[in-house]
Chain A
Amino acid sequence: MKFIKIEDCYKVYKNGVTATAGLNLEIAKGEFVFIIGATGCGKSTLIKMLYREEKPTKGKVIVGGIDVAKLRNSKVYKLRRKLGIVFQDFKLLPKLTVYDNVAFPLNSMGAKKSEVKARVVKALELVGLKEKIRSYPNELSAGMQQRVCIARAMVNGPKLLICDEPTGNLDPETSKEIMNVLDGINKELGTTIVMVTHDKDIVNRMKKRVVLLENGVLVSDELKGKYKAHESI
């Protein structure tokens, strides 16, 4: 069975907007998948359903054996602990050091201090930021902040890393560095990565699986794909 399985998935928001309309998608363990498409086509909605920020209105979304639609609010944390999420706006806590930001998920699970330390150091090594462990987020460049965010997402050793435009706020050079970090995580740890992006250069250079959405449906799905925009349709 595939790690992620989306079957005939519809998402209609309360205001009547249909964000996904009969989406089918399967992703295997260890894959690196780009989700692309014009703005408003439902990319964020799709990945929000993967981490149960939204529930599908109809159809199935299964992540690592968990049926997202059937997951109760009080049990959402069980899913979230199995995956890491990286955002365009980092979502770091400004009053906490890099160490405490990365340790945040472990601390809120009540992990042991010694274990927290070991894992945080490992996660920061993974993103190459060990020397900034005592800094505060506002003392770091945008690229470094994003690496902290990735470290936080990886600190719990998830099988899946979800990224919504992780390079959206970064210049091309920094974006490249971030992509190298993500590629490393995918290759070395075998972590499945699902990444939404608008960045044509990144998609074209990485030569990964590319899924194109349009008006909430999947219109193309290619291994080693290229960035396609509206002109292809």
Chain B
Amino acid sequence: MKAFRILLRSINDGLRSIFRNFSLSTASILCSTITLILVAVAMVLSANVDNFTKKIEDDMTIVVFLDSKATSEEVEIIRNKIDNIANVDEDETIYKTKAEVKMEMQNESAIFNTVMGDWDEETNPLKDTFQLKVKDIEQINETAKEIENIDKVSTVRYGEGLVEKMVGAFKWIERIAYGAVLALILVTIFLIINTIKLTIFSRQREISIMRLVGASNFVIKTPFIIEGMFLGLIGSIIPVLVVLFGYTTLYDMTHGYLFSPIIQLIKPTPFIYYTSAILVVIAMIVGMIGSARAARKYLKV
């Protein structure tokens, strides 16, 4: 009950203080708004990049054609060699004999079915294959080359070259975005420290009297922490709106994919709600870190 009353008072004090130092409060709120918009963009971007690279990686298969003269022992050796390549996902490697490949193709299309209908084991021109998946799609080129160097492997084929280049580029964009966000968060913390510092200075007299009349450190510190939290919170309003409405609009306008249907966007619900919640939490934490630092430095409690 007592702690609750102190908290209520602190919230009251903290909010009043935001209006009292209006210009500086506005500056730090604006800064956190900009930061958080960028954080939001980075979050949306990286979640989407993550989402469709996973999808692409799932779809992207290397097909290894084996020499038709390879014996079953040799096939086993090749399989071991392939699975020993670090970037190959061993659990996904599938071996298919030419008969199986033929059947699969026949099932897929009626034309294939008639053409291939009278091929038998001897006349079947198809080859035994390994189908495999890689762990890191950016390394797919190197992995393909490595496989090609294995004995009795004729050709290696994998998906479109453009896609994996794009994935690589997006991953770089993601990294740069993270770096920028980190820098901006630091700037915001710095601005909040300064805002709170000013509040502390403007209330020095009150604080010293509070000390003299027996206010505990908790009571003295809490209003400033809450002020910082509110600065962050107010700063997160516009970014949250940007996520809620901006992403939905983007999704509707692009019909859910970018450039090509391979690059699918994440569905807005519940994605935008998670993202907004994370933004609000980040905003409050950034505000509290800033104010806690200022309180520790300038309150000497």
Q: Which residues of A contact B (CB under 8 A)?
A: 51, 73-74, 76-81, 85, 91, 93, 104-105, 107-112, 152, 156
Whether B209 contacts A93 by the Cβ 8 Å rule is: yes
What would 6 more interface pairs be, CB under 8 Å, given A77-B215, A107-B9?
A: A73-B301, A85-B212, A91-B209, A93-B205, A110-B2, A110-B5
**Nearest CB in chain B to that of A78: its residue:** B214
Secondary structure of the B side of the interface? helix
Contacts of A79 in B (CB 8 A): 214
Contacts of B210 in A (CB 8 A): 104, 108
Contacts of A93 in B (CB 8 A): 205-206, 209
The CA of A76 and the CA of B209, in the complex, are separated in Å by 13
Q: A107-B9, A109-B219, A110-B219 are in contact. Are A76 and B2 (CB under 8 A)?
A: no
Contacts of A109 in B (CB 8 A): 2, 214-216, 219
Contacts of B9 in A (CB 8 A): 107-108, 110
**Nearest CB in chain B to that of A112: its residue:** B5
The CA of A74 and the CA of B214, in the complex, are separated in Å by 11
The CA of A152 and the CA of B210, in the complex, are separated in Å by 12
Whether A104 contacts B209 by the Cβ 8 Å rule is: yes
The CA of A212 and the CA of B95, in the complex, are separated in Å by 103
Whether B3 contacts A110 by the Cβ 8 Å rule is: yes
The CA of A107 and the CA of B208, in the complex, are separated in Å by 15
Q: A73-B301, A77-B217 are in contact. Are A91 and B212 (CB under 8 A)?
A: yes
Question: Is B285 an interface position by the 8 A CB rule?
Answer: no
Contacts of B115 in A (CB 8 A): none
Which of A73, A105, A111 is in CB contact (< 8 Å) with B213? A105
Whether B213 contacts A104 by the Cβ 8 Å rule is: yes
Contacts of B2 in A (CB 8 A): 109-111
The CA of A233 and the CA of B174, in the complex, are separated in Å by 82
Contacts of B209 in A (CB 8 A): 91, 93, 104
The CA of A73 and the CA of B300, in the complex, are separated in Å by 9
Minimum C-beta distance from A18 to chain B (A): 25
Minimum C-beta distance from B211 to chain A (A): 7
Question: Is B289 an interface position by the 8 A CB rule?
Answer: no
Contacts of B263 in A (CB 8 A): none
Q: Which residues of B contact A (CB under 8 A)?
A: 1-3, 5-6, 9, 205-206, 208-217, 219-220, 301
Q: A93-B205, A108-B219, A110-B219 are in contact. Are A74 and B213 (CB under 8 A)?
A: no
Whether A110 contacts B6 by the Cβ 8 Å rule is: yes
Whether A76 contacts B211 by the Cβ 8 Å rule is: yes
Contacts of A108 in B (CB 8 A): 6, 9, 210, 213-215, 219-220
Which of B1, B214, B217, B220 is in CB contact (< 8 Å) with A105? B214
Which of B1, B205, B208, B217 is in CB contact (< 8 Å) with A74? B217
The CA of A104 and the CA of B213, in the complex, are separated in Å by 8
Minimum C-beta distance from B57 to chain A (A): 54
Which of A80, A91, A112 is in CB contact (< 8 Å) with B214? A80
The CA of A110 and the CA of B9, in the complex, are separated in Å by 9
The CA of A85 and the CA of B211, in the complex, are separated in Å by 11
Could you pull out 15 A-B pairs where Cβ atoms are within 8 angstroms?
Answer: A51-B212, A74-B217, A76-B211, A77-B217, A80-B213, A85-B212, A93-B206, A104-B209, A104-B213, A105-B214, A107-B9, A109-B2, A110-B3, A110-B219, A112-B5
Contacts of A73 in B (CB 8 A): 301
Whether B217 contacts A80 by the Cβ 8 Å rule is: no
**Nearest CB in chain A to that of B208: its residue:** A91
Contacts of B205 in A (CB 8 A): 91, 93
Which of B5, B6, B208, B213 is in CB contact (< 8 Å) with A152? B213
Whether A77 contacts B206 by the Cβ 8 Å rule is: no
Counting chain B CB atoms within 10 Å of each CB, the highest count among A80, A105, A108 belongs to: A108
Contacts of A76 in B (CB 8 A): 211
**Nearest CB in chain B to that of A79: its residue:** B214
The CA of A156 and the CA of B205, in the complex, are separated in Å by 21
The CA of A93 and the CA of B220, in the complex, are separated in Å by 16
Minimum C-beta distance from A196 to chain B (A): 16
Minimum C-beta distance from A156 to chain B (A): 7
Contacts of A85 in B (CB 8 A): 212-213
Minimum C-beta distance from A42 to chain B (A): 20
Which of B5, B208, B216 is in CB contact (< 8 Å) with A77? B216
Whether A81 contacts B214 by the Cβ 8 Å rule is: yes
Contacts of A152 in B (CB 8 A): 213
Contacts of A105 in B (CB 8 A): 213-215
Minimum C-beta distance from A82 to chain B (A): 8
The CA of A104 and the CA of B216, in the complex, are separated in Å by 13
Contacts of A74 in B (CB 8 A): 216-217, 301
Counting chain A CB atoms within 10 Å of each CB, the highest count among B3, B5, B208 belongs to: B5
The CA of A46 and the CA of B227, in the complex, are separated in Å by 38
Contacts of A156 in B (CB 8 A): 213-214
The CA of A152 and the CA of B213, in the complex, are separated in Å by 8
| Interchain residue pairs A-B with the least CB separation, the first 4 | A80-B214, A105-B213, A108-B215, A81-B214
